Structure formats: structure tokens, C-alpha cells
A and B are shown apart, each in its own frame.
Chain A
Amino acid sequence: MKILVAVKQVAALDEDFEIRANEKDVDEDFLLYDLNEWDDFSLEEAMKIKESGTTEVEVVVVSVGPDRVDESLRKCLAKGADRAIRVWDDSIEGSDAIAIGRILAAVAKKEAPDMIFAGVQSSDQAYASTGISTAAYLNWPHAAVVADLQYQAGNKSAVVRRELEGGLLQEVEINCPAVLTIQLGINKPRYASLRGIKQAAAKPIEEVTLSDIGLSGADVGAGNSMSHVRRMYIPAKGRAEMIEGTIAEQAAKLIQIMNEFKGV
């Protein structure tokens, strides 16, 4: 029994950031990297299955990204994941969520897991489609925005509750293997102590190239993606002002502002 957990190292913005010269992204100097918040929950869900049943469960985390991603993978190992896989090749740079799904599906074909968990979305790019595209490339069933999971290692199917709009829940029975995208709040993620993270450094992180999973540069990268970032920018701020003073003063101020807008 094996669960593959797809995780991502996301970027958070430092205060007072700047946009790169090519206007496609934020300047790397102003980015702080950490594990995607949703992934804490999907890993925890996998760990719960591993720890609750009598069946032996192997939890494998996989991520697509450069060297720096090892730090986040180590955090997953510290929380109890058995193995970590990192796929990278410089040609992957610029891939969209669909291309990443293609890579993850290729890893899944090689690993042959019984379940794949991914976060609903990443906090930086928010495509919310990597997990779904992985399912599509595998031709597996999928359930998105899973807020509750009833599944035991070895089961042929799982019952999931999906979070819909307006406080609705939809209960779905899904055949396994399946891809589930896990929603925040489904469980309480455990704390990875720094000593745990340090000790996890002893566990190996398997570095996988495209050819290892039967792909090539022609399957990934910006050129082989279905969407492209054209521009990233900070929109001009709207103006708002609190008008203070007595009623009469407020009215006078209001008239003055209106006149300014009219250009009187």
C-alpha cells in the first residue's frame, strides 16, 4: 500500500517587494519559500492513514522544483514521510499546472501508488489544477476540495466529503486508485520540530530527471504549456478617505472633493 503526496514549495512575498525586470514575476530577492499550506494537510491525511491501520503504508512525497525544494521535502520527511522524490530539469522552468500534472503523472506511473493526495491549490499561483491534471493524465478518478475522508489502507473505494459553495457538502464514493485534492482544515497537521527536520537530513531525497520518468524537454517548460504569464503587476490603488469633523465640516469637505473630481 502506497500513498503519493504531491507537494509544492511556494513563495511568500516579503514586505516592500519589487517586480522582476521582465515583469513576469516578483524579484526572487523578495520571496520567502515554504511548504504550501494545503500540503501540510494532505501529508497529515496520508500520515493518519499510515498510522491508523494494520496494513503497512508507505508515504512518498513528490515535488517538482530546484535544489531549494529539498528543505520543504525534509520537513515532510521529519513529519514521517518514508521517502521523498524531487523531479527537476532546467527545461521544466516556466511549466504551467498542466505540464506539472504531466510530470507528476509520469512519476505516479513509475511509483504505482494506491492513492494520490495533492493540495486543493498552491498559495502562490492558485491554479488549483495540478492535482486534477495529474488525474487526467493518469485517467484516474478524482475528487477536488476534499474536506473529509473515510478510507482505510487497502480499501477498493473511499468516501469523501467535498466542500461546495454556501456551506454545502457533497458526499462522494470514489474508486481507487484516485487523486484527491485536500482542503485546509480536514485535520490538524503535526508540528515538525527542528530537530526532526535536522534528523530527516539523513533520509535520502531521490533526485529524478525527466528521462528517469520517460519524459523529455519536449513535454515540459513554457513552450509546452497551455498557458503563459504575460505580465505581473500591482494594480493602481483606489482612493478612500475618512472624512472627519462636524456634520457641516464633513459636508463642506465632500463638496470640495466632488468639485475637484469635476474639475471645477
Chain B
Amino acid sequence: MDNSKEITRVLFENFQPQAIHLFYAIGYLAIAVFIYGVYVQIRKYRRGKPDGSWNELFHRFVDMVKTMATHRTLVRRDKSAGRAHGLIFLGFVLLFIGTSTITLEYDILEPLFGVKFWYGNFYLLFSLVLDLAGLGLIAGLIYMMYRRKWLHLPKLDYKRVDRQEGDIDFDRSEYRREDWAFLWSFILIGITGFILEATRLVWLNDRPEVWDYRMWSPVGALLAQIMQTLGMASESAGAFRPYLWWFHGLLSLTFIACIPYTKIKHIFTAATSLMFKDQLAGRRLPKVPDDQKTAGYKTITDLTWKNLLHLDACTKCGRCQEACPANAVGAPLSPRDVILSLREFANHALSAKELPKEAELDIHGKDVGQVFMETLWSCRTCLACVEICPVAVEHVPIIVQMRRNLVEAGEMEPLLEKTLQTIHKTGNSFGESKRKRAAWAKELPFEIKDARKEPVDVLWFVGDYASFDPRNQKVTQSFAKLMHHAGVNFGLLFEAELNAGNDVRRVGEEGLYELLASSNIGTLQACDFASIVTTDPHSFNTIRNEYPDFGGKFEIEHYTTLVKRLIETGQVKLKKKLDYRVTFHDPCHLGRYNKGYDAPREVIKLLGCELVEMARNRDNSFCCGAGGGRIWIPDPVGIEKPSANRMKEAGQIEGLQVFVVSCPKDLTMFEDALKTSGFEGQFVVRELIELIDECIEYEVWEDTAVTA
């Protein structure tokens, strides 16, 4: 290496002053266009409602940088695409820093302070790093082109499930054209950059401070070698260079100017979206402010600025669509399409100087950019889309907000309407008398404490399905026996317990949710207990994540963690081991919602079962189809149910004996699906509690049961 000042790169050599001025003028113009575009975007976001996500800004920033640096969210479930993006990202960042470094010296430090540093060793290292960055960029882009052209990935097909062939927004071909324009312009910038470098080397091959150090820009040097071999002389290189220089320069400046107007804006929107990520998105739905007259989203301006930003962050990667259970069975829903529709709507309605009339802002309906009612009601609120989105788009809260508006307008299935009225009237979705809530306990050979009357350690919040569904009542009785056997001091709320409201809230009936939640919170607060346990992941989620917003802060756990502890501490003694070959289905509200992946698996192993995972497990678990109130809405005939789709997946496991679930709704859904999908007789569906029950010998109770 050599630290002499001669070793650097020529800038504007042999350029007429007019040409340099022209270049700067175009440069400033590009920046002006860029800034105006950014202004229009920010004006658009500011037309949304406020959002309180400004807390812990530094922490959020650090998290965002970490996520971007590691590409953690991008490599998930698509390693190659994630890595290729990583190369493009890294290449772009380094090249951007490189260009900025030159500007820093040439336009700022040197003219103002006479400081120069871009020479010698630093320059050589700079040269090498940027060459590698450019190489990475091009390699990444080539893979992306290959992927789009030859891999035929369904998730990259923009044809919509909620529109018909012939509708103008059916196949979204303009997005495809934009994708290709982006890839080509980007790769051309990279390629011309290298050719430009090689041309400069050939042109200046008689200057030792250039030619002798050419290996510090290896790609350029290799290309220069090829050019010379092909017979390019110094003069012709010198004559060719300005054309190429202008082409490369103008393309790059156009690229910059285009950022806020095209998909390139995801550089900023995705990063900001990640920064404002809500860790509890979907798990804790937003409250309706007390002073707000209508609930939910009716117009595009009802969305918060954060929602509007999320719409722009979407890069159409299709991972949400791939994970969506409604989409998998052919329902007219793709989370991506909901986001893109609203984005198109927002761009159309909110980018102009003046806001259009209120009536033109309605996001519900059948027009371009509007979202169909059928689409919104197809959602199971399983959070698969929110979980996998690499740029932290929060689809489910937007869908539920839109449903709240549908509920206000009464635009829902008659059966769902009936169920909501039933829940209002009786406090449970079965329409049973409140008095019957604990009827299952009557058959037990022991009394369960009434937590309203005496202090208990553990308050058991049973939930509707576990209380009223005859099949689930058996499981509920087994869990009661288990707790009694383990000597846990527990009690129930009996008829004072109401539906916890988790699914009512996800349907969008916020008023009813508020009623249920505040009633349950009042009841719970009047009791003396240390913590709550439930076998119902839905109740678990809303009590854990949503009741605090209504003043109810309680310790709560799902039974799987409690049972695991009881077994480990020896309070529950397993008298025998099971040798079943089993698989485990993660309930959405236990797994994805609350990250309770491990406890049920550990219990299964403690029982001695051989656990074989299905392909879609843990955070990619496939919803049974009952979530978001869909258990109260009949599935359309003729299309596959998500639960049947799941059964087929389980059926592929050789020698499977038991399909284990840990959620009352799952038990109902999958026992039904087992029969209809033709696997009856091959394996069985069991609640984990039932397997535990097999391992405990309740000798004492059997005696009492007989004498009772």
C-alpha cells in the first residue's frame, strides 16, 4: 500500500465547467423531487389519526437497527430470498456511504476547510470494499430476478382471491412491471458502475498511481483486462467514458428522485415500520377512545398514521398470504391484498393537496381500493400474517377495526348476530343459563371452592367451551381432578364468570367486549386469589394482554405451564408412561399470541410420548379455523375447512396415534375434522389433559366415587 496523495480517483476530469454545473443542477433537481415526494408522503401519514407509539424511541431505534443488520425477519421461512436481500441491502448501504464519503470531501470538507482524506491507503481500502459491495449487490439482484422469473412462487403472483378475472385490479400487473423496472434499473446502476470503473482504468493505464493499484478494485481490473484483450485502447476508453458516466449518473439520480414515489420507498417505510412495531399487535387490540362516537374504521382517515405507514412498508413479499389459513382454503382473503388495497386507496385519496369529500373516503365496498365485507369476515385473527411479516405490518388490528364498523352497521352473518345477542343476554355463547356454568362440577366426587366466598391460591377461569360443551366438560372434569390430586387450593367463579370476551372483541363487537371484560374484572377483583389458571388459550390471552387496559391486572397462566411445574415438583405423580407417537398442534392464542410453545411439548415428553412435529409448527402453526369468532360463523360449503387441511397434514405422519391439542375449541374443531376428512380410525384427537389423566391413577377417588 502507499499513502501518497496521488493515489485517488479522478472526478470530473476533462469535464467542461458547463457540464459540471449541469450535473450539479440535475443533482439538486433530483434531491428536490425526492424531498417533495417525502413531504407528500408525510402529509399523507399526518392525515391519519394519532397513535401513541412514541414511547421508548431509543429502544425502538436500537431494535430496528438490530433487526435490519441481522436481517432476522427476512431470512425466516425464505432463507435464499432473505440472504439475497441481505446482499442487496449491504451493497446499497456501503455504496451509499461510499458516495457520501466522496461528497463529504469534495463538496464540503475540501472547499470549506481544505481537508482531504480520500487518498492513499484509505482510498485503496475504500475501493476494495465498494467493489465487493457492488458485486454483492449485483449477485443479490440476479438471484431476485431468477426467483421472479423462474421459481414461479405462488406468493409472488399478485392475482387476487377477492376479485374476479376481468376486474381492473384483479392481477395488479402494474406491480409486476414496477418490480422489474426496479430490478433492472438497480442492476444497471451496478453494472454501469463497474464498466465505468474498468473504462477509467483502461483510459488511465499510463498513470502508475492508477494502473499499479488497480487490483484494489478487482472487479474493475478484471473487466479492464477483458476490454484490453478485446482491443480497447486508452483513447477510445477516454472517448467512451463520458457517455457511460452520464448514463450511470442520470440513472442513479433518477433512482434517488423516484424513491418516495415507488416501491423503493420501503428503504424508509419498512425501517420506520419496524421501529414502530407494536410487540402486542393483535394480542391487545386498541381501545375505542371514550369520546369517539363511532367504533372502528369506516374511512381511510380513521386509520392512524402508523397504520398508513404500515401500508407503505409492505413489499408484497407474500409471506402473510402464504401463512394465512383463510387463504390456504380458498377464502377471499389475502392479508397482503387488504394492505395493498388500502395503500392504493390512501395514495389515491390522501396524496392530493385537498382531502376529498367524506363520502369518497369510505374504505368499505366493492370498488377499486375498497375492502369487501366477505374478505374481512374471512379472517380468523390467528396472527400468522402479523407474525411472519418481515417489516412489522400489523394486518389483524386493521381488519378488526374495519370489522368494528361492520358490526355497528349490522353487516354480518345472521348466526353471528344471534350469537352476540345470546352472549349479551346470557353471558355465554351457548345460550345456557348462568346457573349451569359449573354444572360439570356436580359429577365430581369432591366440592370445588367458590372463589367468591373464600380465599384460594389459584382461581380457575374456565371459559365457555370448557364449561358448556359436553365433550370438553369431560376434559374440564379431568383437570379438576388433577388439580385436586395435586393439592392445589383452587376455586371457581361459578355463575359469575362470563365469556372472557376474547373472540367477541376479535369479531369487532367492542361494546359487548367492554361489558364482558368490565364485569369479569369486577368479579375477579372482589375475590381473594394469588393467580389465575385457565385451560382456554382465548380467555388466557384477553385476561393476560387486554384486561390490564380496563384496569384488571392479574397473574394468569395457561394450564400447560402449571401442570409442567406440578409434574416437575412431584405434586403430580405419573404412575405410568405412555408410548404413543403423537403430534402437537399449537393453539394460536397459546403459541403465536403468547409464545407458549415449550410447556406443552415438555409435558408431552414427560408423559413418555414420542413427539413428531408437523411441518407447520410453533410460530407457523396452522389455525384450526375457529378464531376471530369464526366458530360462530358457518364455513361456506364446498371449500375445505382449515381444520380439515390440518388433519391432512397430520395424516402424513407415519404411525401417528394421537393428535394432541391444548385448547377446548381445537378439540371441538379437530374431532369434527377427523371424521369429515377420513382419518377416523387412523389416529385420535386428544386434549393434553386427557393424556396426563391416563398417567395418573386416581385410586382414592374411584373409591369415593363408588361410595358417593
Show the binding face of A for B, using Cβ within 8 Å.
14-16, 32, 34, 190-191, 193-199
**Would A14 and B435 count as touching, CB distance under 8 A?**
yes
Question: What residue in chain B is nearest A195 (Cβ atoms)?
Answer: B511
**Would B408 and A14 count as touching, CB distance under 8 A?**
no
What is the 8 Å Cβ interface bit string for chain B, positions 392-426, against chain A (1 contact, 0 not)? Answer: 00000000000000011010100001001100111
**Would A193 and B509 count as touching, CB distance under 8 A?**
yes
**Would A198 and B511 count as touching, CB distance under 8 A?**
yes
**Would B435 and A196 count as touching, CB distance under 8 A?**
no
Q: Give the distance to chain B from A220, nearest Cβ to Cβ, in Å.
A: 30
What is the 8 Å Cβ interface bit string for chain B, positions 498-533, against chain A (1 contact, 0 not)? Answer: 000000000001111011000000000000000000
**Would B511 and A197 count as touching, CB distance under 8 A?**
yes
**Would A193 and B435 count as touching, CB distance under 8 A?**
no
Which 3 pairs across A and B sit closest by C-beta, in order of nearness?
A: A194-B511, A195-B511, A191-B410
**Would B511 and A196 count as touching, CB distance under 8 A?**
yes
Q: Does B68 contact A (CB under 8 A)?
A: no
Rounded to whole angstroms, the CA-CA distance of A191 and B408 in the bound complex is 8
**Would B509 and A194 count as touching, CB distance under 8 A?**
yes
- In the assembled complex, 22 residue pairs joining A and B whose CB atoms fall closer than 8 Å, in A order, are A14-B435, A15-B433, A15-B435, A15-B436, A16-B435, A32-B426, A34-B425, A191-B410, A193-B408, A193-B410, A193-B511, A193-B512, A194-B509, A194-B510, A194-B511, A194-B515, A195-B295, A195-B510, A196-B408, A196-B511, A197-B511, A198-B511
Rounded to whole angstroms, the CA-CA distance of A138 and B560 in the bound complex is 68
Contact residue range for chain B? 20 to 34
Q: Does B611 contact A (CB under 8 A)?
A: no
Rounded to whole angstroms, the CA-CA distance of A15 and B410 in the bound complex is 30
Given pairs A191-B412, A194-B514, 7 additional interface contacts (CB within 8 A):
A32-B426, A191-B417, A193-B511, A194-B424, A195-B510, A195-B514, A197-B511
Q: Does B366 contact A (CB under 8 A)?
A: no
Rounded to whole angstroms, the CA-CA distance of A16 and B439 in the bound complex is 13
> Is chain B's binding surface mostly helix, strand, loop or mixed?
helix
Q: Does B288 contact A (CB under 8 A)?
A: yes
What is the 8 Å Cβ interface bit string for chain B, positions 290-324, against chain A (1 contact, 0 not)? Answer: 00010100000000000000000000000000000
Q: Give the distance to chain B from A191, nearest Cβ to Cβ, in Å.
A: 4
Residues of A within 8 A of B509 (CB): 193-194
Residues of A within 8 A of B435 (CB): 14-16
Rounded to whole angstroms, the CA-CA distance of A198 and B420 in the bound complex is 16
Residues of B within 8 A of A15 (CB): 432-433, 435-436
Interface centre among A190, A195, A198 (most CB of B within 10 A): A195
Residues of B within 8 A of A16 (CB): 433, 435
Residues of A within 8 A of B410 (CB): 190-191, 193
**Would B293 and A193 count as touching, CB distance under 8 A?**
no
In-complex Cβ contact of A199 among B293, B424, B425 (8 A): B293
Q: Give the distance to chain A from B401, nearest Cβ to Cβ, in Å.
A: 13
Rounded to whole angstroms, the CA-CA distance of A194 and B425 in the bound complex is 11
**Would A32 and B425 count as touching, CB distance under 8 A?**
yes
Rounded to whole angstroms, the CA-CA distance of A145 and B181 in the bound complex is 68
Residues of A within 8 A of B417 (CB): 191
Residues of B within 8 A of A194 (CB): 424, 509-512, 514-515
